[in-house]
Structure 1
Amino acid sequence: MTLSKLSRRDFLKGAGATGMVGALALGGAGVAFAEEGTASGEAAATANPYSQALGEDASLLPMRHAECPGPHGPVAFEDRTIGDDEIVSTADTEVLVIGAGIGGIMASLKAAEEGAKVLMIEKMTEGRSAWESFGATQATFQKEQGIVIDDAQLIDEILRASDWRADPEVVTSYVKHSGEVADFWQAMFDKTGTGWQIYKFDQAPNYNGFPVIDSYVNFKMPEGISKTWLFGLHVCEDLLKALSMYDNAEVRYECPAVQLVKEANRVTGAIAKTADGYIRINASKGVLLATGGYDANPEMMQAWVRPEDYEYSSWWNPSWGTTGDGHMMGLAVGAEMDSLPQPVMNFSNATPSTFVEKRVYFPGAMNWGIMVTEEGKRFTNENNQHGLVLSDRMENGYRVFTPEDAFRSNAFRVLLQYGFSISEAIEMLDAKQDTAEFRESLQEQRQKLERERILLDYRQRRIESVLDVLETDGKVDFKLVHIPDQLYVNASHGRDFTVSMENEKVLAEYYDLLSITSCARIITRENLLDDSPAVDPDYINTVSVGEEHFLSPYAREHVKRLRLGRCLRFRRMVTREESIQKETFDGLFEHLDAHGLTICGDILIMPTFLNLDGEGSDIEVLYVPVEETAGA
């Protein structure tokens, strides 16, 4: 296959031509199309010529006027006679395919496989397509997987889903030939050897009265391709690779078709435009139009589509090449067209100079939240195609969803993915941070997330420690260990908790550091060794001195230090009433006497497992500072 691709500069060269809605400059350079592509969506003329496209005898349905908010792509079709003296060159082929999206690529591949000489021309820098799956029945992979589909039921459901407006012959042809198309598709994947595979897409049950039919086909991607809902673009790239393996196929980009050529009752070719001027392409066996929809042509949308459909839909950043050129070229030579109004066909994914544009991708925005009136009341099913009419109805309480809203929805979702809270994300959006401010916010967020990661690691270790204890059934054991000193703040003095009010600020900070701080108790050495029958421990919040950097300067100034060091770890299982009775410490004293040890500091009691029903036993660990008994 030969591939011709003009530079962007060459593409924009050339003399202006008067089209159906006027010739405008594209990007400030020369003119390549009959009409400019602009992002503003403003009409190029005061009257809408597409309202007259079906002729004077056509009956147009009365529809409320509402401006189409989509961008204005470059229209290629020219409604005028192009003289022979304007033709700078000719090209001969057998099959001419106009449009290099998925439809045009597949048509070109099939024609090339059948042995025809094929020329595929594309208006844009590359063909666009943002689909991610297709439908098929009776395909080889489906038969191999035991997937049984009733073709008659599938045809009926497609017609029912379209409210019986779809052409039954077209639907039937699609269903009956979809299996062989899927098989051919897989054969083209196999031809490239890159690893793409067609497979069954598992669908969730549908609870809205429509049956789920396993005709949904998806793709398994090779390694190295990012997983995105736009992976149909990568499928196109692989199919183009397959097309390049045919010597009888050629692709020309930035070569928009402007008219079909008709001789007698037969279309014999097309006139296209390049940077050098108009070329005539003769196609001895046929011309196939695969130019997509017209979602980037606001005037055509306003003339042929109901405003509640196009204002609901999602072409805030469409493939700018889909401007209805194929529709107009077909009508100009007498073709029939589906009746009006028509549904929206749109693929939101590219600009004139990009293959895929994900910065503003609107589909799914309705799934990120609920739509509400000015009073904050939800008024629609956000997934219902008729549930949201985005015409200007502020006086009726509807919220107009704009491109700016689409951007905010995307940006809000991304900020949440970065870990910002809802209030933080809203504040950042409202502040309209510039690049420097946003970089600073991200750097602060990175530090915050790193801190949270450390805290999560602490939680994981503590959970593992508790599980280890539970596996021992809480049996009493003793072990000499080295424990770092603790920084603590009192929540009580014995059973008097009034001190917690004095220490409220530091206690609050400890609770914010819940992952690394602990609620514990301290028994003074004197209290444990006196003659009273029970201990009266202080309740505290504590943290290891190794984590002092997590504390604020204020907290560091108001905490106490519990010195531990060499400790006897004493683990026991007791009820809450038993835990303060000194008789439950008998085992500790026996162990100290047997090993020549004596208590040399205050004891730290750490709850390891608290019986949640309050009736069973708790497991607690005591860290008892010890030293060798004098003379032992």
Structure 2
Amino acid sequence: MTNQSRRNFFKTSAIGTGVVALGATGIGSSLSAAEKGPDLDKAAAQPFITERGIAPSKNPAYPNTLPKVDASQVKETVEADIIVIGAGFAGMCAAISAVEVGAKVIVLEKYKRPGARGGHITAFGSDFQDKHGITKDIHPRQIAKELERWGQGRVDEDLLRLFIEKSGACMDWLDNTLKTKGFQNGQWFEGCKDPFYYEHPVTHMFRDKNGVPGNAPVVDALVEIAKEKGVDVVFEARALKLVKDGNKVTAVIAKTKKGYVQYAAKKAVIIASGDYASNHDMVSYYSQTSSLADAQIYFPSKSNTGDGHMIAMDIGGAMQRDANHAAVIHLEAGAKSYNFLHVNAYGKRFKNEDINTQSMSCGKLYQKDGIAWSVYDANGLSYAEEMMKKKIGGGLFFGQQDKIVGVKEWSMDDEKHMLEKHISEGKVVVANTLEELADKMGVPRAEFVKTVKRYNEIVKVKNDTDFGKRSECLYPVEKAPFYAGKLLATLLTMCGGLSTDDRMLVLDKDDKAFDNLYVAGAAQGNFFAGDYPTICPGIGHGRCMTFGRLTGLVAAGKSVNDVKTKMTL
């Protein structure tokens, strides 16, 4: 199938208009009109179709494809103790943490507004978890071992340990900081409890004073708080060059609305510029599988181009050694799976559907032309509700992503509304017969009907000898109308980054650290490898919060030991 014919599969999906992502909620709530910019509209937060199967570039986008700049072009020099590159979750946690201990901080953000998406934040042993009796159900040694296994042994276990020890205290700090703006913390836990795949109860989610959940209002509030504390947040300031003297970074040169400005750092520079998922050369070089993704979601759209990685590599910084960077790839831009019958472009079942969203997304990429559908009947939503009630289903992108324990539980009305929306957008097709459904899906009639018949036989005997699906997750496809949802593997974040260790300093190819160049958040390497560990929903954002705060403190002259250890291995 050509890219053009592949586009035909997606063209009725309304992919550019239909995604309800937490990253698109509450955006811009605390920003001035100038900061929001004229392009802050619906399109800015929408996913976009990617080209499938593009070969890795022979000229990857590093060591540096950014516009070249030198000192002669600098029109102005501004000085601070710490320069933070990136006004996202990690960058703002770093900036506030540093200014609170007396540092003068400037944050450079290339876009017109801060970047934020999602809503889940992992932390271990927070005060919130203690108060609500959750901490006793968190088992750090088990989690550490599972994280190491998901990373295939290619992660820095000292970084994992530091995260486990300090994330709870960092969450306490964030909770108290956001309370000043009327935010409330909560626990998301619709996690999957499959005995072979368990999502741990470690996920926090904030709501603003209007009840809007997600990280967009969180980061907006952090920008407001940072400004109140004296941080200078400069928007439309794209960092293009690091100035180095020996092993020390002395300045960042950025292109601003005023021209090229040199931001001199008396103490340190912190790279918190996010990931590189919108830089296809880097994606195809570091993670061929990720370059096959059907769609991408990021906010601001296409702004995560690996700028921080490139300017660090330009002065000798190294990327983590892991040859195939992990990526967050979920079933977010398309229809829901519900772990129902999955079929490919041939109309054939091809997998055990009782797996996590990450594995579903990556697995479908290797089917013919990346096409996969989730098929169910008129009772489908009732089956999904039953699995939720029996606690045999759930988890990321099975359960509802904005639910907070004790505040907003799983809702059939919400599920029906989403299905209606997906039907109107073309993400789900409906028919009164299996033959008609096959035609709407564009799969062979006879093979599809044969597949459904075989699946119903398996359901009847409650024994999946074809793929081994749990018997309690087997439901028939027999009552009209019949539904088929398009499954779209959606690239959210590339998790590989600049090589670092538990000092959070950028390392070179020989593992020698820069004196004062730090990295935090999605730009940070050595924390993830192999696959993204969905066993801790929100661990990517938890990493941003935790290492953002720690780098801010350490860069300002404090120690990680100044942050309380809430949980130990």
Shorter chain as denominator, the TM-score bin is 0.5 to 0.7
Say which of 103, 106, 123 aligns to 1:136. Answer: 123
Matches within 5 A, 1:427-576: none
SS at match of 1:202: coil
Look up the equivalent residue of 2:421 and give its one-letter code. Answer: V
**Which one-letter code corresponds to 1:244 in the other structure?**
K
CA displacement, residues 72-108 of structure 1 (integer Å, 9 cap, x when unaligned): xxxx96374x332211111111111111111111111
Give the equivalent residue in structure 2 for 1:201: 188
> Which of residues 374, 377, 383 in structure 1 aligns to 2:345?
374
Q: What's the TM-score once normalised by structure 1's chain length? A: 0.48
**Which residue is 1:278 aligned to?**
260
Residue 99 of structure 2 aligns with which residue?
Answer: 112
Task: Give the 5 Å matches for 1:59-458.
Answer: 78=66, 80=68, 82-146=69-133, 147-148=135-136, 149-192=138-181, 194=182, 196-204=183-191, 206-222=193-209, 224-226=210-212, 231-247=214-230, 249-307=231-289, 309-312=290-293, 314-315=295-296, 319-339=301-321, 340-345=323-328, 362=333, 365-367=336-338, 370-381=341-352, 383-384=355-356, 385-387=358-360, 388-389=362-363, 394=368, 399=371, 413-414=420-421, 416=423, 422-423=430-431
In 2, Cα distance between equivalents of 1:117 and 1:47: 41
Where does residue 443 of structure 1 map in the other structure? none
1:369/1:138 CA distance change after superposition, 3 Å: closer
* Offset at residue 154 of structure 1 (A): 2.9
- Quote the Cα distance in structure 2 between the aligned partners of 1:214 and 1:7: 35
Whole-Å separation in 1 of the counterparts to 2:215 and 2:38: 28
Partners of 1:347 and 1:281 in 2: CA distance: 38
Tell me the distance in 2 between the aligned counterparts of 1:411 and 1:140. Answer: 34
Match of 1:283, SS state, is strand
Per-residue CA deviation, residues 284-309 of structure 1 (Å, 9 max, x unaligned), is 111111111111111111111022x3
Matching residue of 2:470: none
Q: Deviation at 1:9? A: 8.6
C-alpha contact (below 8 Å) 1:91/1:282 kept by paired residues: yes
CA-atom RMSD, angstroms?
Answer: 4.1
Deviation per CA, 1:449-497: give whole Å up to 9, x if none: xxxxxxxxxxxxxxxxxxxxxxxxxxxxxxxxxxxxxxxxxxxxxxxxx
Q: What secondary structure sits across from 1:260 in the alignment?
A: strand
User: 1:422 is paired with a residue of what secondary structure?
Assistant: strand
Aligned residues with identical type, % of pairs = 22
Q: Aligned pairs, how many?
A: 348
8 A Cα contact 2:365 2:371, kept in partner = no
User: SS of the residue aligned with 1:279?
Assistant: strand
Distance 1:398 1:129, change over 3 A: closer
AA at the equivalent of 2:345: E
Shift of residue 216 of structure 1?
A: 2.0
Give the Cα separation in 1 of the matches to 2:252 and 2:208: 37
- Counterpart of 1:565 in structure 2 is none
CA offset digits 1:226-247 (Å, max 9, x no partner): 45xxx21111122222222212
> Using CA pairs below 8 Å that are at least 6 residues apart, which structure has the higher relative contact order?
2
User: Per-residue displacement from partner, 1:395-432 (whole Å, max 9, x unpaired)?
Assistant: xx86379xxxxxxxx997515489x99349x99x98xx
Deviation for aligned residue 1:376: 1.6
Deviation at 1:205, TM superposition (A): 5.0
Note the residue ranges of structure 1 that are not aligned, 5 or more in a row. Answer: 11-37, 54-75, 349-360, 402-409, 431-632
Aligned equivalents of 1:105, 1:43: Cα separation in 2 = 36
CA separation in 2, counterparts of 1:203 and 1:267? 45
- Which SS does the other structure have where 1:50 is aligned? coil
| Cα separation, 2, equivalents of 1:204 and 1:45 | 36
2:530 counterpart residue number: none
* Distance (Å, rounded) in 2 between the aligned partners of 1:45 and 1:270: 34
SS state at 2:219 partner? helix
1:141 aligns to what SS in structure 2? helix
Q: Which structure has the greater CA radius of gyration?
A: 1
Partners of 1:145 and 1:259 lie apart in 2 by: 47
Alignment of structure 1 residues 17-28 onto 2, 5 Å: none
CA distance, structure 2, for counterparts of residue 43 and residue 93 of structure 1: 45
Aligned partners of 2:53, 2:260: CA distance in 1, in Å? Answer: 26
Residue identity matched to 1:311? L
Structure 2: distance between partners of 1:173 and 1:294: 25
8 Å Cα contact 1:294-1:345 kept in structure 2: no
1:208 is displaced (CA, Å) by 4.3
Does the 8 A contact of 1:98 with 1:291 survive in 2? Answer: yes
Cα pair 1:392 1:400 within 8 Å, conserved? no
